[in-house]
Amino acid sequence: MLPVAVDAMGGDRAPDEIVAGARRAAEDRGLPVVLVGRPGELGDIGDLEVIAASEVIAMDADPGSSVRRMKDSSLIRAAEAVRDGVASAMVSAGNTGAAMASALLRMGRIRGVARPAIATLLPAPGTTPTVLLDAGANSECNPEWLVQFGRMGAVFARDRLGVEEPRIALLSIGEEPGKGNPFVKKAHGRLTEAQFEGARFIGNVEGRDLLTDAADVVVTDGFTGNVALKTLEGGLKTLMTSLLTAMSARQEAAEAARVLGPELDGLYQQFHPDTYGGAILLGVQGVCVISHGSSNALAVENAIGLAAEMVGANVVGHLTGAVGDGG
């Protein structure tokens, strides 16, 4: 397999944690990795190779203009490496909008895809995670696009999670088809009419169903999806913090909390966004994994693992089959 191109400059903890994660992926898991960034600033990179890129797109930079202007940025160079057959996939913990724009501009869309979408995994205890898309690529959507999001999400649920016949649902504010805003009602109609191969549309779900077995793939516009995702992350973080604070306030409680260490660790890992290796941009001509800005070495390692796994599973080929030709 060609190496996974890792944007060494993107992310709140770049380059140190990015390089550390890339090294772990290469050294501990035997995955082929190439770093992209400023060679002199990467510290001890072990045996990794580097694709030189002199510019860095800041986390808060405007995605569109930065990508157009900074042609020697690590993000653009990573996307070009995939386009040029030098790398098999790209991974970045940098500016999400700029990572999407780089992938879209340099790799291009899969023929027939109206808009690429960001798919993210939400933990559902006792069952496979729920695929949520669009989690933020398109803040405004056409109802038709949600049919494609459903097709792409189903491919991802199969390739990533092994779900045989994914159940696709639409995120709304009530289960009945008539519930929701005008956009959602139209999307419900399109999804009901659409033919899905090896997947099926099961109707609306609500926000409370996201972390359950109610559906395998949940489609929504990128604004609502991003609000739901961040609300969930914020809520779980607040609850976890409150739990730890409460447990440390009383002597006996603190001791009991220590006994519960393995359980709390397991829970923390199950619900932590880094566990699943980040989000994936579906619909471009290559694998593009975008992990949290706050990613540490473990998150980067997992993101590289996810990218390699998706290359191995031929997710782009399957997406082309499922949505190509205007499907």
Binding residues (CB under 8 A) for a copy of itself: these are: 123-125, 136, 139-140, 171, 173, 179-182, 184, 206-212, 221-224, 226-243, 245-247, 249-250, 252-253, 255-257, 259-260, 262-264, 266-267, 270-271
Q: At 125, which amino acid appears?
A: P
Least distance from a copy of itself to the Cβ atom of residue 6, Å = 25
Nearer to a copy of itself, 196 or 276 (CB): 276
- Is 22 or 171 the residue whose CB approaches a copy of itself more closely? 171
CB contact at 8 A, 160 and 133: no
**238/314 with CB nearer a copy of itself:** 238
Shortest Å, Cβ 263 to a copy of itself: 4
Between residues 91 and 214, which has the closer beta carbon with respect to a copy of itself?
214
| Tokens read off for 104 | 């879209």
Task: List the structure tokens of 142.
Answer: 């056409």
CB of 252 to a copy of itself, least distance (A): 5
Nearer Cβ to a copy of itself (17/134): 134
> Which structure tokens are listed for 228?
């739901």
Question: Where does 112-234 show beta strands of DSSP type E?
Answer: 117-122, 130-133, 167-171, 200-205, 217-219
> How far is 190 from 240, CA to CA, in rounded Å?
39
**Minimum Å distance from CB 173 to a copy of itself?**
4
Report in angstroms how near the CB of residue 240 gets to a copy of itself at its nearest: 8
**Smallest gap from residue 235 Cβ to a copy of itself (A):** 5
Q: How far is the CB of 95 from a copy of itself (least distance, A)?
A: 11
Q: How far is the CB of 125 from a copy of itself (least distance, A)?
A: 5
Contact 24, 53 (CB under 8 A): no
In three-state form (DSSP H/G/I as H, E/B as E, the rest C), the secondary structure along 42-63 is CCCCCCCEEEECCECCCCCCCH
- What CA–CA distance (Å, rounded) separates 322 from 148? 9
Q: How many other β-carbons are positioned within 10 Å of the β-carbon of residue 287?
A: 28
Residue number, 217 or 304, with CB nearest to a copy of itself: 217
Cβ within 8 Å of residue 1, ≥6 positions away: 32, 88, 308, 311, 312
Min CB(260)–a copy of itself separation in Å: 5
Give 15 or 153: the residue with its C-beta nearer to a copy of itself: 153
130 within 8 A of 124, measured Cβ to Cβ: yes
Cα(201)–Cα(215) distance, rounded to whole angstroms? 9
Give the residue with the Cβ less far from a copy of itself, 181 or 314.
Answer: 181
Give the span between the Cα atoms of 143 and 86, in whole angstroms: 37
In this structure, the number of other CB atoms found within 10 A of the CB of residue 126 comes to 6
**Tokens linked to 57:** 């797109």
Cβ closest to a copy of itself, residue 44 vs residue 140: 140
CA 259 from centre of chain? 34
User: How long is the chain?
Assistant: 327
